[in-house]
Amino acid sequence: MKIMSKCNVFVVSLFTLGLLGCASTKDNMVAKGFPVQYAEGFDDGCHSGYKAAGSLFDEFKKDISRFNSDKKYAQGWSDGFRQCESEQEAIERQTRITIEQQKLIEQRKANEHSETYLLEKHALEGVDTSGLESLTPK
């Protein structure tokens, strides 16, 4: 169970980082010299890309009239969508891999326990264990 809770912490951490990374993207881009229209489009596209890739924490955002009339907004939206969709897909893929690895570890432990039990049972075949019954808790 400890490992599974670590897996849950890992997943929550990834989603939190994703949310924090996109929360101030627009301001960071404007501070770096990107046009405001591009940064706003990128921010909207980013939320849309995360949603398209399966994020439960984002929603599709696109100002259609602005997308059709403002080339900077449209370019920012498209760039943000592609980048954030790819990021979210990578997070989802890594999460699935981590969960599958955890399942394999748990299965190996169960198999080892089962093998040990069968070996012990086989080792005791033909041995009179009737005198040991008093040692087992009731």
Contact status, residue 92 vs residue 14, Cβ threshold 8 Å: no
Residue 95 covered by a domain: yes
The amino acid occupying position 79 is D
Q: Label residue 1 by pLDDT band (50, 70, 90).
A: very low
> What's the domain range around 103?
2-114
Residue 83 covered by a domain: yes
Residue 124 covered by a domain: no
Q: Quick one: what percent of the chain has pLDDT higher than 90?
A: 57
Joined together, the tokens standing for residue 126 give 């033909």
Residue 135 covered by a domain: no
Q: Which residue has the higher pLDDT, 75 or 123?
A: 75
Buried/exposed 94-122: b ≥16 CB within 10 Å, e otherwise: eeeeeeeeeeeeeeeeeeeeeeeeeeeee
Mean pLDDT for the stretch of residues 90-96: 94
pLDDT of 28 > 80? The answer is yes
Residue 44 covered by a domain: yes
Percent of residues in the chain assigned helix, strand, coil, to nearest 5 = 80, 0, 20
The chain-wide mean pLDDT, for the chain, equals 85
Mean pLDDT for the stretch of residues 23-43: 92
For the chain, what is the domain count? 1
Residue 127 covered by a domain: no
Contact status, residue 50 vs residue 85, Cβ threshold 8 Å: yes
Mean pLDDT for the stretch of residues 42-66: 95
